[in-house]
Chains A and B, each alone.
Chain A
Amino acid sequence: MNQNFKMTSLLTYTFKNLPSTSKWALRFCVRPLSSSSQLQAAADSQTKSKKTLAKPNIRNIVVVDGVRIPFLLSGTSYKDLMPHDLARAALLGLLHRTIVPKDVVDYIVFGTVIQEVKTSNVAREAALGAGFSDKTPAHTVTMACISSNQAMTTAVGLIASGQCDVVVAGGVELMSDVPIRHSRKMRKMMLDLNKAKTLAQRLSVISKFRLNFLSPELPAVSEFSTSETMGHSADRLAAAFAISREEQDEYALRSHSLAKRAQDEGLLSDIVPFKVPGRDTVTQDNGIRPSSLDQMAKLKPAFIKPYGTVTAANSSFLTDGASAVLIMAEEKALAMGYKPKAYLRDFMYVSQDPKDQLLLGPTYATPKVLEKAGLTMNDIDAFEFHEAFSGQILANLKAMDSDWFAQNYMGRKAKVGSPPLEKFNNWGGSLSLGHPFGATGCRLVMAAANRLRKEGGQYGLVAACAAGGQGHAMIVEAYPK
Chain B
Amino acid sequence: MVASRAIGSLRRFTASRALRCSGYICRSFTRSSVLLTRTHINYGVKGDVAVIRINSPNSKVNTLSQELHSEFMEVMNEVWSSSQIRSAVLISTKPGCFIAGADLNMLNACTTSQEVTQISQEAQKMFEKLEKSTKPVVAAINGSCLGGGLELAISCQYRIATKDKKTVLGSPEVLLGILPGAGATQRLPKMVGIPAAFDMMLTGRGIRADRAKKMGLVDQLVEPLGPGVKPPEERTIDYLEEVAITFAKGLADKKITPKRDKGLVEKLTSYALSIPFVRQQIYKKVEEKVRKQTKGLYPAPLKIIDVVKTGIEQGSNAGYLSESQRFGELAMTKESKALMGLYRGQTQCKKNKFGAPQKEVKQLAVLGAGLMGAGIAQVSVDKGLQTILKDTTLPALGRGQQQVFKGLNDKVKKKTLTSFERDTMFSNLIGQLDYRGFEKADMVIEAVFEDLNLKHRVLKEVEAVIPDHCVFASNTSALPISEIATVSKRPEKVIGMHYFSPVDKMQLLEIITTEKTSKDTTASAVDVGLRQGKVIIVVKDGPGFYTTRCLAPMMSEVIRILQEGVGPKKLDSLTTSFGFPVGAATLVDEVGVDVAKHVAENLSKDFGERFAGGSLEMLRQMISKGFLGRKSGKGFYIYQEGVKNKNLNSDMDSILASLKMPSQPDVSSDEDIQYRLVTRFVNEAVLCLQEGVLATPTEGDIGAVFGLGFPPCLGGPFHFVDLYGAQKIVDRLRKYEAAYGKQFTPCQLLVDHANNPNKKFYQ
State the A residues within 8 Å of B (CB).
Answer: 224-227, 232, 235-237, 239-242, 304, 307, 353, 355-357, 395, 398-399, 402, 404-405, 408-409
Contact = CB atoms under 8 A, between A and B. Distances in A.
A457 B402 CA distance: 62
Nearest to A303: B223
Given A227-B418, A240-B225, 15 more contacts: A224-B420, A226-B420, A237-B226, A239-B225, A240-B227, A240-B229, A240-B235, A242-B228, A242-B235, A307-B220, A307-B247, A353-B226, A355-B226, A356-B225, A356-B232
A239 B228 contact: yes
25 contacts: A224-B420, A225-B420, A226-B420, A227-B418, A227-B420, A232-B223, A236-B224, A236-B225, A239-B235, A240-B226, A240-B227, A240-B229, A242-B235, A242-B238, A304-B223, A307-B243, A307-B247, A356-B225, A356-B232, A398-B228, A398-B229, A404-B229, A404-B230, A405-B227, A405-B229
Nearest to B421: A225
A123 to B, nearest CB: 30
B405 interface: no
Contacts of B231: 408
B70 interface: no
Max chain A Cβ within 10 angstroms of own Cβ: one of B220, B227, B235, B247: B227
A235 B243 CA distance: 13
B225 A402 contact: no
B420 A239 contact: no
Interface residues of B, number: 19
Interface in B212-243: 220, 223-232, 235, 238-239, 243
Nearest to A402: B229
Contacts of A227: 418, 420
Nearest to A395: B228
Q: Which 9 A-B pairs have the closest CB atoms?
A: A356-B226, A240-B228, A240-B225, A241-B228, A225-B420, A239-B239, A236-B223, A236-B225, A240-B226
B232 A307 contact: no
A476 B420 CA distance: 38
A240 B240 CA distance: 11
Nearest to B423: A225
Contacts of B230: 404
A241 B223 CA distance: 14
Contacts of B227: 240, 356-357, 405, 408-409
B246 A240 contact: no
A240 B246 CA distance: 17
Interface string B237-277: 01100010011000000000000000000000000000000
A185 to B, nearest CB: 17
Contacts of A225: 420
A237 B225 CA distance: 7
Interface string B385-429: 000000000000000000000000000000000101000000000
A415 to B, nearest CB: 13
Nearest to A224: B420
B229 A241 contact: yes
A8 to B, nearest CB: 52
Nearest to B256: A306
A304 B227 CA distance: 18
A315 to B, nearest CB: 17
Contacts of B229: 240-242, 398, 402, 404-405
A354 to B, nearest CB: 10
Nearest to B225: A240
Contacts of B239: 239-240
Contacts of A395: 228
A396 B224 CA distance: 19
Nearest to A357: B226
Interface in B187-229: 220, 223-229
Max chain A Cβ within 10 angstroms of own Cβ: one of B229, B231, B246: B229
Contacts of A307: 220, 243, 246-247
Contacts of A408: 227, 231
Interface string B506-529: 000000000000000000000000
A59 B425 CA distance: 45
A398 B228 CA distance: 9
A412 to B, nearest CB: 14
Nearest to B223: A236
A307 B243 CA distance: 7
B246 A236 contact: no
A235 B418 CA distance: 22
B242 to A, nearest CB: 8
Interface string B725-754: 000000000000000000000000000000
A233 B228 CA distance: 13
Nearest to A354: B420
Contacts of B226: 236-237, 240, 353, 355-357
A234 to B, nearest CB: 12
Contacts of A235: 223
A126 to B, nearest CB: 34
B22 to A, nearest CB: 16
Contacts of A224: 420
A357 B238 CA distance: 19
A404 B246 CA distance: 28
Nearest to B228: A240
B734 to A, nearest CB: 65
A242 B237 CA distance: 12
A432 to B, nearest CB: 26
Nearest to A240: B228
Nearest to B243: A307
Contact of B232 (A226, A240, A304): A240
A237 B228 contact: yes
A251 to B, nearest CB: 17
Contacts of B225: 236, 239-240, 356
B566 to A, nearest CB: 52
Nearest to A223: B420
A357 B231 CA distance: 13
A227 B417 CA distance: 12
B601 to A, nearest CB: 53
Contacts of B238: 242
B681 to A, nearest CB: 48
Nearest to A409: B227
Contacts of A226: 418, 420
A310 B248 CA distance: 22
Nearest to B418: A227
Contacts of B228: 237, 239-242, 395, 398-399, 405
A232 B239 CA distance: 15
Nearest to B420: A225
B725 to A, nearest CB: 56
B241 to A, nearest CB: 12
Interface string B355-390: 000000000000000000000000000000000000
Contacts of B232: 240, 356
A409 B225 CA distance: 15
A237 B420 CA distance: 22
B34 to A, nearest CB: 22
Contacts of B224: 236
A304 B242 CA distance: 15
B253 to A, nearest CB: 15
Contacts of A242: 228-229, 235, 238
A405 B229 CA distance: 7
A227 B231 CA distance: 23
A468 to B, nearest CB: 12
A449 to B, nearest CB: 33
A55 to B, nearest CB: 35
A224 B231 CA distance: 25
A239 B225 CA distance: 7
A226 B228 CA distance: 19
Contacts of A240: 225-229, 232, 235, 239
B604 to A, nearest CB: 56
A232 B231 CA distance: 20
A405 B225 CA distance: 14
A339 to B, nearest CB: 45
A201 to B, nearest CB: 29
